[in-house]
């Protein structure tokens, strides 16, 4: 090194000056750090450490019941295994399927719903919004159990309703039998599992999105609408040319949340399928695959690799979403 | 001043001394368990306190899955471990091979001396790869066939028709369906589950042999799949998953006539599954002269436990004490692993739910004949894969040979790389 500490003018000056008396730190100087420290301590313990540990773990093979000394370095072996694993691919396909089928309608329904609540329900808006929001704050486990009993093959309300329409008869004819089932549908069959989960996810988060859009609607200045009305714009034109463009930032935010949430989907499919993913793993999501790898197969290394691959995929999706919404500006 | 000073010092000294004495007197033994197995510990606490006033028992109970996950992570880090760990049979293989549990075959435990006091298949289950005994058996689950006597009589079927052979079992199911539309089984998967557990030799495993070789692509599994397929094709099963709401509803509404499972199921039936069908059920041996083990629980001591000596005393109390074993039998229908308890007059008592049948004697006969099946740490993985392939056979007409070959490849793929 060419520059040593003694060459530095600042350092030599420091060395030359007589030792300054250390000033005692005043309470107002250190207190703020104490006050914000809980966050940093908690973040270090529950945020950063697990993050680094799981990254380390992704390159190891480890059955946790053997203790920490049971770890063995395997390099990128875990990543190779996961990417070639047909179970992982299948669970990823399921995840995307559910994410799109439950996620897209959420926004297509939530925006008009929020617009309707904003424009026409001035007085009762809060009550209605509360009702929308209720599924979001209810326990997932409870909801999934309710869903299971609604869709129960023999005793479920859904089957009861569908078959009673299907078997509806006038003068011995069944006019609706071609459209509705006449016998109970077994919703546990693989072709229905993903629909069942998607319907639950849709119902659960549509209210959340509505609330997001509603809050964005409330920030749109009213004079824009007043000016448009004076110019003779119809309410449909106002919706398309004022509301939708000004909602775009919120759309970006809400869609991002949906992408992240849906790609991490776990509790709903886990409980609906009893933890197995259902027949032929039709409802097994990537997060469930990760859980099973860790806790059924006791393979925490591979599970960590799944987690990081999932992280990269979520990152890519969010980036694509960002591009999509940014392009139009 | 000085007086008060001295007094405080005495008080301090006294309280320190007291605290020390208390710490000496009350060793707290932590027991981690899960429902409803924890009932046995709850019942034991007051009795144990009487014999050991100096020991405090603290029970920590989590839901079944959570308990075993928590124990797995505790073993991983070697912290937060209880002194006594309850382990269900599905996890004993994994834990026995982990090396995180005390080897009870060594001193000071020397558990091998008790081996002959227990049902013969229990110790092999708790034995790990290096001959270590990881846990002491508490209860076992002799496989049994439960059937609805009233529904069978309506269809003109006898118990012998059900149990003579698998063919006669399925034939009875067809008669039953024709007579009253009742299903023979809740799920065809049960047939597979029982069949792969019967007819094993001592030392052989369900999915793996003692060297870890996968046994799935074998005549035993092929026959099990064929049986399940035959039942499904004939429409004999209600296609209900066990432990689902429909499952208990099916029993309550008299739609399912038989269920094969561990003997402990009688207790679940009586308490919550279908209490209204009391008196209509009976128990019999499994069809085709098979005997199978279904469930069971153990107690282990983690290597990092703080109070190993006291923990061992408590485990001996729970497993070697006949009265405690009978108490657990009475409370939660946990069939005792201890042979002395199996010879108790309690086994002669009629079971009200089973129409006064003395079924416990029947289960004891089964318990004596169950082979000493070896467990493997990857049994859970193998079970999931086999069930997934059976689903394909039942639901999508996948060829049984291909399904078993696929299951074999899948298991080898997911297991070998971890050895």
- For B317-357, what is each residue's pLDDT tens digit? 999 999 889 988 888 788 999 999 999 999 999 999 999 99
Pairwise CB contact (< 8 Å): A280 & B78? no
Residue B384, chain A, CB below 8 Å: the answer is: yes
Q: For chain A, what percent of residues have pLDDT higher than 70? A: 93
Quote the CATH superfamily of domain B3-141+295-343: Periplasmic binding protein-like II (3.40.190.10)
Phi-psi region of A298 (alpha: psi -120 to 50; beta: other; left: phi over 0): left
CA-based nearest residue to B339, from B324, B355, B323, B322:
B322
* pLDDT digits 0-9 by tens, A139-155: 888 888 888 888 888 88
Pairwise CB contact (< 8 Å): A154 & B250? yes
Residue A12 has pLDDT above 60, yes or no: no
B148 burial class (0-12, 13-18, 19+ CB within 10 angstroms)?
buried
From CA A254, how far away is CA A110, in angstroms rounded? 10
In chain B the first and final C-alpha atoms are separated, in Å, by 73
From CA B231, how far away is CA B256, in angstroms rounded? 13
A21 pLDDT tier (thresholds 50, 70, 90): low
A-contacting residues in B 56-95 (Cβ below 8 Å): 69, 72-73, 75-78, 94-95
**CATH architecture observed for domain B142-294+373-418:** 3-Layer(aba) Sandwich (3.40)
Tell me the nearest-neighbour CA distance from B383 into chain A, angstroms. 10
Residue B110: its H or E element: none
From CA A55, how far away is CA A201, in angstroms rounded? 30
Contacts of B99 in chain A (CB under 8 A): 66-67, 70
Helix, strand, coil shares of chain A, percent, nearest 5, are 70, 0, 25
Pairwise CB contact (< 8 Å): A299 & B377? no
Pairwise CB contact (< 8 Å): B388 & A152? no
Residue B146: its H or E element: strand B136-148
Residue A15 has pLDDT above 80, yes or no: no
Pairwise CB contact (< 8 Å): A70 & B414? no
* Residue B3, pLDDT score: 47
Tell me the nearest-neighbour CA distance from A280 into chain B, angstroms. 6
CATH number of A79-325: 1.10.3720.10
Residue A84 has pLDDT above 60, yes or no: yes
Tell me the nearest-neighbour CA distance from B297 into chain A, angstroms. 18
ipTM: 0.78
The list of chain B residues with pLDDT below 50 reads 1-4, 7, 14, 16-23
Residue A244 has pLDDT above 60, yes or no: yes
Pairwise CB contact (< 8 Å): B377 & A70? no
* Residue B2, pLDDT score: 46
* Residue A328, pLDDT score: 54
**Running DSSP on this structure, what letter comes out for residue B398?**
-
User: What's the mean pLDDT when you consider all of chain A?
Assistant: 86
Q: How far is CA A163 from the centre of its chain?
A: 35
Pairwise CB contact (< 8 Å): A64 & B396? no
Contacts of A67 in chain B (CB under 8 A): 75-78, 98-100
List the helix and strand counts (H, then E) for chain A.
15, 2
Helix, strand, coil shares of chain B, percent, nearest 5, are 55, 15, 30
Question: What would the mean pLDDT of A282-295 be, rounded to a whole number?
Answer: 92
**Which of A64, A149, A298 is opposite residue B245, by nearest beta carbon?**
A149
Pairwise CB contact (< 8 Å): A295 & B73? no
Residues of chain B with CATH 3.40.190.10: 3-141+295-343, 142-294+373-418
* Residue A2, pLDDT score: 44
Question: What would the mean pLDDT of A308-326 be, rounded to a whole number?
Answer: 91
Tell me the nearest-neighbour CA distance from B15 into chain A, angstroms. 35
From CA B31, how far away is CA B59, in angstroms rounded? 5
Angle at which helices B219-233 and B379-396 cross, to 10°: 40
CA angle B370, B375, B379 (to 5 degrees): 120
pTM (global) more than 0.90? no
* Residue A326, pLDDT score: 74
């Amino acid at each position: 090194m060419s520059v040593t500490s003694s060459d530095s003018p600042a350092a030599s000056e420091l060395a030359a000056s007589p030792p300054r008396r250390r000033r005692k730190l005043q309470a107002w100087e250190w207190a703020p750090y104490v006050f914000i420290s809980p966050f940093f301590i908690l973040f270090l313990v529950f945020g950063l450490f697990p993050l680094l540990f799981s990254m380390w773990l992704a390159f190891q093979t480890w059955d946790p019941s053997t203790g920490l000394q049971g770890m063995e370095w395997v390099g990128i072996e875990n990543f190779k295994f996961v990417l070639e694993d047909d179970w992982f691919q299948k669970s990823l396909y399921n995840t995307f399927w559910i994410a799109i089928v439950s996620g897209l309608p959420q926004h297509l329904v939530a925006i008009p719903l929020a617009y309707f609540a904003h424009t026409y329900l001035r007085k009762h808006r809060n009550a209605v919004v509360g009702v929308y929001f209720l599924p979001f704050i209810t326990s997932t486990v409870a909801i999934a159990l309710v869903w299971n009993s609604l869709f129960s093959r023999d005793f479920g309300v859904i089957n009861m309703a569908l078959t009673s329409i299907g078997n509806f008869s006038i003068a011995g004819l069944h006019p609706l039998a071609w459209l509705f089932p006449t016998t109970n549908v077994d919703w546990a069959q693989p072709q229905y599992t993903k629909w069942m989960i998607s319907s639950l996810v849709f119902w659960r988060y549509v209210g959340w999105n509505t609330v997001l859009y509603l809050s964005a609607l409330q920030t749109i200045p009213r004079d824009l609408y007043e000016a448009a009305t004076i110019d003779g714009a119809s309410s449909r034109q106002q919706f398309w040319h004022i509301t939708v463009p000004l909602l775009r930032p919120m759309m970006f935010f809400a869609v991002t949340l949906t992408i992240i949430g849906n790609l991490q989907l776990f509790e709903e499919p886990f409980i609906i399928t009893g933890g197995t993913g259902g027949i032929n793993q039709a409802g097994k999501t990537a997060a469930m695959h990760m859980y099973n790898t860790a806790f059924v197969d006791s393979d925490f290394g591979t599970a960590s690799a799944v987690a990081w691959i999932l992280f990269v995929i979520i990152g890519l999706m969010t980036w694509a979403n960002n591009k999509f919404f940014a392009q139009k500006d | 001043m000085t007086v008060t000073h001295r007094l405080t010092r005495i008080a301090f000294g006294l309280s320190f001394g007291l605290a020390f004495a208390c710490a000496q007197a009350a060793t707290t033994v932590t027991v981690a368990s899960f429902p409803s197995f924890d009932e046995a510990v709850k019942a034991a606490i007051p009795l144990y306190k009487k014999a050991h006033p100096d020991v405090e028992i603290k029970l920590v109970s989590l839901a079944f899955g959570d308990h075993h996950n928590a124990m797995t992570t505790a073993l991983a880090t070697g912290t937060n471990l209880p002194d006594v760990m309850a382990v269900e049979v599905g996890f004993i293989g994994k834990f026995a091979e982990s090396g995180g549990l005390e080897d009870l075959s060594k001193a000071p435990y020397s558990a091998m001396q008790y081996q002959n006091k227990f049902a013969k298949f229990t110790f092999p289950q708790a034995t790990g790869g290096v001959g270590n005994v990881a846990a002491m058996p508490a209860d076992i689950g002799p496989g049994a066939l439960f059937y609805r006597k009233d529904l069978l009589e309506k269809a003109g079927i006898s118990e012998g028709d059900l149990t003579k052979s698998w063919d006669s079992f399925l034939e009875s199911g067809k008669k039953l369906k024709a007579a009253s539309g009742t299903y023979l089984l809740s799920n065809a998967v049960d047939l597979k589950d029982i069949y792969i557990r019967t007819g094993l030799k001592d030392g052989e495993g369900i999915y793996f042999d003692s060297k870890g070789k996968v046994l799935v692509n074998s005549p035993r599994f092929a026959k099990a799949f064929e049986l399940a397929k035959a039942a499904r094709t004939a429409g004999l099963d209600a296609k209900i998953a066990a432990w689902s709401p429909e499952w208990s509803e099916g029993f309550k509404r008299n739609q399912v006539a038989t269920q094969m499972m561990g003997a402990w199921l009688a207790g679940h039936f009586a308490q919550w599954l279908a209490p209204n069908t009391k008196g209509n059920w009976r128990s019999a041996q499994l069809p085709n002269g098979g005997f199978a083990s279904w469930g069971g629980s153990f107690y282990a001591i983690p290597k990092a436990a703080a109070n190993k000596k006291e923990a061992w005393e408590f485990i001996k109390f729970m497993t070697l004490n006949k009265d405690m074993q009978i108490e657990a039998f009475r409370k939660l229908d946990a069939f005792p692993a201890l042979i002395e308890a199996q010879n108790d007059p309690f086994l002669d008592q009629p079971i009200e739910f089973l129409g006064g049948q003395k079924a416990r004697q029947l289960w004891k006969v089964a318990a004596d004949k169950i082979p000493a099946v070896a467990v493997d740490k990857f049994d859970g993985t193998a079970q999931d894969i086999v069930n997934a392939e059976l689903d394909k056979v039942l639901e999508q007409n996948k060829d049984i040979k291909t399904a078993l070959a696929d299951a074999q490849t899948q298991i080898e793929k997911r297991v070998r790389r971890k050895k």
